[in-house]
Amino acid sequence: MAETNSAPHIVVVSSPGIGHITPLAELTKKLLVLHQRFTATIVTFSDLPPCSLPPSISTVQLPLLPLHNLPPNTHIVTRICLTMAHSVPLLREILISLKRTTRLAAVIFDLFGSDFLSMVKELGIPAYMFITSNLFFLSFMLHLPTLAETTAGEFRDLPEPLRLPGCVPLKSEDFLEPLQERGSEVWDWVIHLARHCHLPDGILVNSFEALEAGAAKFLRKRGDGKASIWCIGPLSQSNLDIDSERPSHKCIEWLNLQSSGSVVFVCFGSGGTLSLEQTKELALGLEMSGQKFLWVVRVPNDTEASGSFFNPKQDDNDSLMFLPDGFLERTKERGMIALSWAPQQEVLSHYAIGGFVSHCGWNSVLESLVNGVPMVAWPLYSEQRMNAVLLVEGVKVALRVNVGVNGLVRREEVAKAVKELMVGAEGKEVRQKMQEMKKEGMRAVEKDGSSYKAIEEVVSIFRDSTMA
């Protein structure tokens, strides 16, 4: 019989997508920093993003099971859910193997790993859920099964905003994008995920108490045998993880030539794409704004906003012919184009960046926050509209673009939002508020901060579970 390793071991499972892998890797590193005798295995469906992992963390890559029988327009959430559900037997084999040689303290998975719950508990391992988003999103998911059972018709027809305890009111038009059609396949999957939110032994959330004080206060008081909830953010990839040997990206060299706070960064995340018409309107809006800009441009996708989710990198040889005629020439003195990708963390921490036009993916939000960069909220899919509501109406660190007919943001609205953020009175207010939140976020993760203490408590529970 194999000898069991005396160090407690944690297994962390990420669903497909860089937006989940990155914060889960950061969480794993933080847990092991606080208890250096722990070891861990990170289970993914793709390569980890460039980051430095200590020797105590190993990795396992599961195959992305073929889903060829699905219609080409199958929603991204459905694809991820099916991938995770079909991978339960594979993860079971990994856990059984690890149990032979290690003392498993916990399995941590993101929301899409809900189907792992019963199997993990059957093996006698504590199961924890990591919410890669915020308390607002978690509060919504905890309430969603009740909302689905007590209402009829489409959510978008609800007469009043949803008022969750401690949260900003949420209009039905800003509900999760997959919930816009009751009874659809993706609607059923989201309800399925929501029903599992009550079941883990604990829930970790990539947010911090000062950012969502009302929701944090309410969720702490739930009690009655419900899963404990810990705010352990902001988790964001450190600049220390950037490869010092790697040549500097040309956009950083360009930023080095700009004055402090003069450039607006425009980027829609690792998976976000715009339609051809919207791309042209955005280009002309940036031109009309008169502001300096660094724009991460993706080849347009007219089928879905999340079109790059599973394949975020695009060919560097892709042509920019889809941009308006003469745009590059007219803006060459104050604009920089990065095709498909830029080192976002490096960009947002650069002194020249004064604003961020973002899709409001939560990782991007936190990167903006830890660097004190105010935002223009331009949500595309998933929970991003909820994030925009939190940022604009709750925390007040962002302005929001006005969406017109057919979901299009016209050039005039782009120009208005960008100019207001960079040089307007409202922009000045959100800039000041963002600086306050930056300080609060720093305090949360410092020793004796709220998130630091929360992670200490989680580590203590993991340690004790292996001693029982």
Q: Which tokens go with 211?
A: 């950012």
* 76 and 209 assigned to the same domain: yes
pLDDT of residue 73: 87
Residue 64 included in any domain: yes
What dihedral angle (degrees, nearest 10) is formed by the CA atoms of 217, 222, 226, 231? 0
For residues 37 and 174, state if they share a domain: yes
Cβ-based burial of 423 (10 A; exposed 0-12, middle 13-18, buried ≥19): middle
pLDDT band at 304 (very low <50, low <70, confident <90, very high): low
Residues 267 and 210 in one domain: no
Please tell me whether residues 64 and 198 are part of one structural domain.
yes
pLDDT in tens, 352-389: 999 999 999 999 999 999 999 999 999 998 899 999 99
Secondary structure element (H or E) that encloses residue 345, with its range: helix 344-348
CB-based burial, 63-92: b 16+ in 10 Å, e otherwise: eeeeeeeeeeeebbbbbbbbbbbebeeebe
Task: Tell me what the mean pLDDT of segment 420-431 comes to.
Answer: 98
- Total tally of structural domains belonging to the chain: 2
Q: Label residue 5 by pLDDT band (50, 70, 90).
A: low
Domain hosting 176: range is 8-238+444-465
Distance CA 55, CA 354 (A): 38
Residues 427 and 453 in one domain: no
Q: Which residues, 6+ apart, have CB-to-CB distance to 251 below 8 Å?
A: 294, 336, 338, 342, 343, 347
Task: Calculate mean pLDDT across residues 195-199.
Answer: 93
Whether 243 maps to a domain, the answer reads: no
Of 9, 20, 75, 350, catalytic = 20
* Dihedral Cα 203, 206, 211, 212, nearest 10 deg: -30
Q: What is the mean pLDDT of residues 169-193?
A: 95
Please report, rounded to a whole number, the percentage of residues in the chain having pLDDT higher than 70.
Answer: 91
Q: Are residues 214 and 131 in the same domain?
A: yes
pLDDT band at 250 (very low <50, low <70, confident <90, very high): very high
Is 1 part of any domain? no
Mean pLDDT within 433-439: 98
Three-state DSSP at 441 gives: helix
Q: Could you tell me if 355 and 299 lie in one domain?
A: yes
Q: Is the pLDDT of residue 315 over 80?
A: no
> Looking at the predicted structure, is the pLDDT value of residue 3 above 70?
no
Catalytic annotation present for 20: yes
Same domain, 109 and 128: yes
Classify the C-alpha dihedral 149-153-156-161 as positive or negative: negative
Instruction: Give 335's strand partners.
Output: 293
Confidence at residue 126, expressed as pLDDT on a 0 to 100 scale: 96
DSSP 318: -
Q: Are residues 152 and 221 in the same domain?
A: yes
pLDDT at 226: 80
pLDDT value at position 242? Answer: 52
SS3 call for 40 = strand
| Phi, psi (degrees; rounded to nearest 5) at 138 | -60, -45
pLDDT at 51 (0 to 100): 66
Q: How many CB atoms lie within 10 A of CB 382?
A: 25
Mean pLDDT of 228-257: 80
Residue 267 lies in a domain: yes
Asked if pLDDT for residue 63 goes beyond 50, the answer is yes
Neighbours of 197 (CB within 10 A): 21
Mean pLDDT, range 440-446, rounded to an integer? 96
Closest of 30, 16, 13 to residue 270, by C-alpha: 16
pLDDT band at 88 (very low <50, low <70, confident <90, very high): very high
Distance CA 61, CA 91 (A): 11
Judgement on whether residues 128 and 168 belong to the same structural domain of the protein: yes
The answer to whether residue 110 is catalytic is yes
Residue 305: pLDDT over 90: no
Both 260 and 290 in a single domain? yes
Q: Using pLDDT thresholds of 50, 70 and 90, give the confidence band for residue 237.
A: low
Phi-psi region of 61 (alpha: psi -120 to 50; beta: other; left: phi over 0): beta
The CA R_g of the chain, rounded to the nearest whole Å, is 22
> Tokens 């607002």 appear where?
136
Choose the weakest-confidence range: 46-50, 176-180, 211-215, 445-449. 46-50
Phi, psi values for residue 40, rounded to 5°:
-150, 155
Residue 1 has a pLDDT of 40
Instruction: Look at residue 464 in the predicted model and tell me its pLDDT.
Output: 83
Please indicate, yes or no, if residue 3 is contained in any of the structural domains. Answer: no
* Residue 2 included in any domain: no
Max CA pair span of the chain = 72
Of 403, 394, 407, 347, the C-alpha closest to 373 is 347
- For residues 17 and 417, the model is more confident at 417
Say which of 75, 110, 350, 359 is annotated catalytic. Answer: 110
CATH code of 286's domain:
3.40.50.2000
Q: What is the mean pLDDT of the chain?
A: 91
Which positions ≥6 away from 57 have C-beta within 8 Å?
Answer: 28, 29, 32, 39, 40, 41, 42
Reported as a pLDDT band with limits 50, 70 and 90, residue 319 is confident
Low-confidence winner among 211-215, 316-320, 427-431 (lowest mean pLDDT): 316-320
In a domain? residue 386: yes
214 and 276 belong to one structural domain: no
